[in-house]
């Protein structure tokens, strides 16, 4: 004969067993979704890194048409000299050769994804001319991409800051 107390223990054991079986069946699906999300994020990061290389190539070759396709209509850029430029102004600077970059070596690139926004930080060794003045040095920049409903990524913001060489103390 099973006492009322024994029945209660068996009942709790049955619930625990049911919960464990349910967790055992669901856990692989949860893990699978996490893996899919991780792989998707890695794919998007690679896509953004490829866009950064496309931007670099277009900038070095003065390919205004490619840059125009990459920039969002509401683009705002802050140049290495601190000037603020709209999309039209930035493209005109390149078209008129007021900005000519002959070297852009990228390193230390990081891509952070936040919903439909990708934030890129990187360092770049840059050489060229801006407004007729020579430009040469190491810069840290931030470029922000926004994904449109079509799935296409557009550059919506850019900012560059000069990295000054460290001074050695005698």
Contact of 139 with 59, CB cutoff 8 Å: no
Alpha-carbon dihedral of residues 121, 125, 129, 131, nearest 10 degrees? 30
pLDDT tens digits, 77-128: 998 888 999 999 999 999 999 999 999 999 999 999 999 999 999 999 999 9
Query: Helix, strand or coil for residue 115?
Result: coil
Q: What is the Cα–Cα distance from 101 to 160, expressed in whole angstroms?
A: 14
Nearest to 129 by CA among 102, 90, 158, 165: 102
Contacts of the segment 133-137: beta carbons below 8 A, 24+ positions apart = 135/80, 135/101, 137/162, 137/163
Give the class (CATH, top level) of 4-163. Answer: alpha beta
Contact of 119 with 159, CB cutoff 8 Å: no
The pTM of the full predicted model, rounded to 2 decimals, is: 0.76
pLDDT tens digits, 41-76: 999 999 999 999 999 999 999 999 999 999 999 999
């Amino acid at each position: 004969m099973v006492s009322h107390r024994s029945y209660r223990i068996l009942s709790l054991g049955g619930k625990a067993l049911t919960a464990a079986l349910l967790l055992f069946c669901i856990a692989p699906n949860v893990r699978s979704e996490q893996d899919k999300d991780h792989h998707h994020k890695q794919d998007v990061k690679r896509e953004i890194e490829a866009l950064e290389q496309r931007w670099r190539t277009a900038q070095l070759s003065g390919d205004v048409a490619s840059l125009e396709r990459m920039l969002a209509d509401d683009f705002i850029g802050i140049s290495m000299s601190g000037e603020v430029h709209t999309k039209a102004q930035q493209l005109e600077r390149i078209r008129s050769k007021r900005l000519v970059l002959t070297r852009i070596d990228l390193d230390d690139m990081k891509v952070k994804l936040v919903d439909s926004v990708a934030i890129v930080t990187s360092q770049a060794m840059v050489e060229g001319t801006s407004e007729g003045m020579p430009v040469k040095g190491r810069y840290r920049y931030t470029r922000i991409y926004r994904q449109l409903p079509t799935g296409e990524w557009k550059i919506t913001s850019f900012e560059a800051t000069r990295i000054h060489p460290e001074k050695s103390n005698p």
